[in-house]
């Protein structure tokens, strides 16, 4: 086959120069059925499908402006061209933009970085949308998702609002590995952030993912876990069945951490407070409060609940940051 | 086939009445490759093989005396006949003793219960050895191990000193599921107990094991984990290769806990201090100290090291109980 990235580039419309600048927005997302493990690291093709909820007004807003040289301002601070952040973002833009165009980027996370949600997902999804606006394109949604995926796997989901499923696909060129909306937002659905640590992670998530796939015999059963969880979560979203959604999402997140704990050397993102909070969530649930936890590649918990549990949770966890699940601005 | 337990009973010599009483001892053991999951709960047949180290002078000493009625004194305290402990032990003795014989049992754990090692393994192994002495038998070691297994799976290993492997076997009657010595004790080998909690476990280990097998998709890969770990641990014992032994034993223990964490409802035995101690062990190792951790179905850590690391570990963990790996008295 021809090179999959060249093939994608051949699908793009011409780079017209009508606009001098453009602004776009993409939400962050939290996976309810996790993406853990790549089958192709260059094309960022996942081993399994995944399903997330986008975080409405919490994400990345980015303005691109045609310029003489590439520059990046992130949350008001200039980023050095030698940094990994700078190089990774512009290497990604090079896949899509006119090779002759240089850009000034002003990117702003509308979610506190402290909350541990300033992921690459919203940034890369937003970059695709901003380029699209700059060049006056209106790409097919699947192509938009595939392009975002090349920046960061989970960015494939952040091009949509609401509940979003990323299909694993099976084609070697990744043309069937894109996200699609499952359902719009669920007004009562809430996400609460319990920050345990804002320190840099001891192991980056890309390295953790690769180590798991390479060294954890238990990981061979991860596709079976997802085969169990993904259809249940999808149906629970469609049915607005919060209990099934919460149980399955927590089971899935703990199973993902289990595969890391079972890697070698072990990847244990949990800190003492993580363990403590997990037990607290289980105690609250035993007392009748419908609340579930999910965790990404780090020590912080995200609580899943519906609006009516908000006050009880705020009492149990005064530090809880409650995220209103509203549509993007 | 005939009933496997009747078949076993048919292999026993006659119950002679030469002795009025008998005393025996069996060591506790700590699995380096864990036993987790039964394929037959009545015969206590495991899904996989396992390998342990017996704890020398730390175990159960039991005296049986022919009597008019069954009584049990455990660590100096009379045990009520209505308790699960009493009923489980005498139901086990009923499999082996002359049905007409009643017994007074005086059992003493030579290891502090507080250390979390007063497991059923040494008790059931010791009960078999004490009955054997009472009846003047000299059973083949494999039969002794099989009988102990009927009391508690891991008791099959506690009938031997040193490093012991329990073969999973494949026969439905369990006649090929017994333990055998791999190697005698390794004089420099040490086990250190880091007690985190002496509170009763929120989920018993039998229930935890069953829940894992029933609800954790990741458990389907547990046999692959053991297939990876067991031969490595066996060879490391034979080679006295401490690094390979420690790495593989810690990986195996964390993978066992991973299968519990990935069960539903989740079985999270870890307490905040468990997580803290695990990170401390990893820090010490990063600083060059050869120490590894293993955990059984509970929050407490057992450290694996060799004699020369003892002082450094005692400095890092003042509460550490160091177990000399000496032969049984």
Per-residue pLDDT at A112 exceeds 90: no
* pLDDT tier at B118, thresholds 50, 70, 90: low
Answer yes or no: do A254 and B266 touch at CB < 8 A. Answer: yes
**B145-181 tens-digit pLDDT:** 999 999 999 999 999 999 999 999 999 999 999 999 9
Peptide bond before residue B193 is cis, with ω within 30 degrees of 0: no
Would you give the DSSP letter of residue B292?
A: E
Q: A266 in contact with B at a CB cutoff of 8 Å?
A: yes
With tokens 């030698």, the residue in question is A82
Cross-strand pairs, B104: B65, B71
Q: What is the rounded CA–CA span in Å between residue A250 and residue A225? A: 12
Measured in angstroms, the CA of A283 and the nearest CA of chain B are apart by 12
End-to-end CA distance of chain B: 41
**A183 close contact with B: CB closer than 8 A:** no
CA separation for the pair A240, A221 (Å, rounded): 28
Distance CA A65, CA A269 (A): 39
Residue A151 tokens, joined = 């920046």
Looking at per-residue pLDDT, the higher value among B205 and B141 belongs to: B141
Q: What is the mean pLDDT of residues B246-257?
A: 98
**Was domain A4-183 assigned CATH 3.30.230.10?**
yes
* Residue predicted with more confidence, B323 or A77: A77
Beta carbons of A221 and B225 less than 8 Å apart: no
- For A252, name the nearest residue in chain B, comparing CA atoms only: B262
CA–CA gap between residue A91 and residue B230 (Å, rounded) = 46
**Residue corresponding to tokens 């690459």:** A120
The residue in chain B having the minimum alpha-carbon distance to the alpha carbon of residue A281 is: B266
Q: Are A223 and B217 in contact (CB under 8 A)?
A: no
User: What pLDDT is recorded for position B326?
Assistant: 63
Q: How far is CA A119 from the centre of its chain?
A: 6
Mean pLDDT score, A107-128: 80
Instruction: Work out the mean pLDDT of chain A and round it to a whole number.
Output: 94
Q: Between chains, do B282 and A268 touch, taking CB under 8 Å as contact?
A: yes
Q: Domain boundaries in chain B?
A: 4-183, 189-324
Q: Which of A255, A262, A282 sits opposite B254 (nearest CB)?
A: A262
In contact, A54 and A323? CB cutoff 8 Å: no
The answer, yes or no, to whether residue A101 has pLDDT greater than 80, is: yes
ipTM: 0.94
- B270 interface with A at CB cutoff 8 Å: yes
pLDDT, residue A113, reads 55
At the topology level, CATH places domain A189-324 in Alpha-Beta Plaits (3.30.70)
Q: Would an 8 Å CB–CB cutoff place A289 in contact with chain B?
A: no
pLDDT score of B205 more than 80: yes
pTM over cut 0.80? yes
CB contact under 8 A, A275 and B271: yes
CB of B221 within 8 Å of a chain A CB? The answer is yes
A274 touching B, CB under 8 A? yes
- B271 and A CB contact within 8 Å: yes
Q: Is the pLDDT of residue A325 over 90?
A: no
Which of A13-17, A266-270, B123-127, B264-268 shows the lowest per-residue confidence on average (mean pLDDT)? A13-17
CA-to-CA separations, B155 to A319, B123, B229, B291, in angstroms, rounded: 48, 8, 21, 27
Asked whether the predicted pLDDT for residue B328 surpasses 60, the reply is no
User: What is the per-residue pLDDT for B136?
Assistant: 96
């Amino acid at each position: 086959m021809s090179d999959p990235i060249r093939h994608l580039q051949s699908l793009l419309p011409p780079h017209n120069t009508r606009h001098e600048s453009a602004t776009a927005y993409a939400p962050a997302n939290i996976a309810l059925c996790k993406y853990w493990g790549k089958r192709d690291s260059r094309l960022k093709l996942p081993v399994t499908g995944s399903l997330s909820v986008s975080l409405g007004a919490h994400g990345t807003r980015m303005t691109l402006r045609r310029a003489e040289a590439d520059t990046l301002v992130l949350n008001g601070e200039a980023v050095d061209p030698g940094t990994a952040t700078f190089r990774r973002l512009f290497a990604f833009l090079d896949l899509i933009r006119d090779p002759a165009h240089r850009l000034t980027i002003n990117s702003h996370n509308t979610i506190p970085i402290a909350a541990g949600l300033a992921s690459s997902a919203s940034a890369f999804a937003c970059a695709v949308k901003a380029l699209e606006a700059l060049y006056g394109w209106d790409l097919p949604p699947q192509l938009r998702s595939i392009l975002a995926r090349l920046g960061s796997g989970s960015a494939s989901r952040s091009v949509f609002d609401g509940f979003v499923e990323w299909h694993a696909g099976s084609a070697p060129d990744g043309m069937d590995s894109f996200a699609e909306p499952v359902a719009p937002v669920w007004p009562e659905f809430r996400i609460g952030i319990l920050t345990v640590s804002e320190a840099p992670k001891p192991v980056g998530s890309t390295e953790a993912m690769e180590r798991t796939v390479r060294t954890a015999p238990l990981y061979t059963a991860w596709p079976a876990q997802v085969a169990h969880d993904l259809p249940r979560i999808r149906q629970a979203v469609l049915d607005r069945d919060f209990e099934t959604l919460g149980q399955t999402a927590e089971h899935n997140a703990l199973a993902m951490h289990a595969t890391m704990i079972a890697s070698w050397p072990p990847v244990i993102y949990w800190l003492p407070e993580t363990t403590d909070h997990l037990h607290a969530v289980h105690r609250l649930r035993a007392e009748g409060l419908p609340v579930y936890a999910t965790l990404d590649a780090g020590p912080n918990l995200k609580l899943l609940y519906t609006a009516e549990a908000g006050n009880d949770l705020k009492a149990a966890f005064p530090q809880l940051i409650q995220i209103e699940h509203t549509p993007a601005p």
